[in-house]
Amino acid sequence: MPLGTIVDRLFPPECPLCRAETGVAFHLCPDCLRDTPMLTGPLCATCAAPVLMPDGAVGDGPLTCDDCLVLARPWRRGRAVFRYAASGRRIMLLLKHADRTDLARTLGPWLRRAAGPLLAPDTLMVPVPLHPRRLFRRRYNQAALLARAMGGPGTVAVDALRRLRATPALDHRGRDERFALLDGVIAPAPDRLAVLRGRDILLVDDVMTTGATLAAATEACLAAGAAGVDVLVCARVTKDEPEATGHRNPAPRIADAI
């Protein structure tokens, strides 16, 4: 009997959120999957936010949300897997703050499917960097874990970008404040300029709220001579969710996600 079969019989694969048996390692159970609000329907082609369409209307070509009509996004296209709500929010909190690095194995295939036509064999996947101080405290960069977990063709350059200075937590800060705090914070690593030059880049991160972090990272790639940049995240904060309001609500507790 294959060793993998023996291990599965002794330790049946479980849902990474609720520990119900799933039969497939790293897969969510049906209940947790139903509670994960996947992004479907009309979505902005630039930032993956839901676009409200009039009754009976059919989009003619790529759609653009109200924010992207106002903000000059430096990247070309954007994709996301689910909304930052319900189990989607819980997954992100566990991955980012509770050492649940195993969740990257769950999210990697989802990200790859969401990326779709953004990926080509010569695409360079670049995770959004953490400041060294935060990386030391957390011990891992969740964006790098996600990029590596996607697998398939394409190269991952985990050290192509760097954070020049630490910034305070961005949770519950408004759009203008986020953009001001991140202005000039991310830069290409001096010894990795040749890796970025002339390449099509897919920036990978965990959550997009206003897009300020991804804008700073995109501008760093373009400054290094990248041919173009697309962005990919797991979770998209939408306007009806608390973090998108800019109000200083109490910070989410990890205990609420466990």
Report the 3 state secondary structure along 142-199. HHHHHHHHCCCCCEECCCCEEECCCCCCCCCCCHHHHHHHHCCCEEECHHHHHHHCCC
Closest CA to 14 of 3, 36, 2, 29: 29
DSSP reduced 3-state for 33: helix
DSSP reduced 3-state for 19: coil
Q: Has this prediction a pTM greater than 0.75?
A: yes
pLDDT in tens, the chain (258 residues): 454 444 455 578 999 999 999 989 999 999 999 999 999 999 999 999 999 877 656 566 799 999 999 999 999 999 999 999 999 999 999 999 999 999 999 999 999 999 998 999 899 999 999 999 999 999 999 999 999 999 876 789 999 999 999 998 887 789 999 999 999 999 999 999 999 999 999 999 999 999 999 999 999 999 999 999 999 999 999 976 655 444 333 344 444 454
Residue 37 is given by DSSP the state: -
CA 66 to chain centre: 21
Spell out the domains of the chain, with CATH numbers in brackets: 1-34 (no CATH), 36-53+60-257 (3.40.50)
Centre a 10 Å sphere on the Cβ of residue 236 and count the other Cβ atoms it contains: 28
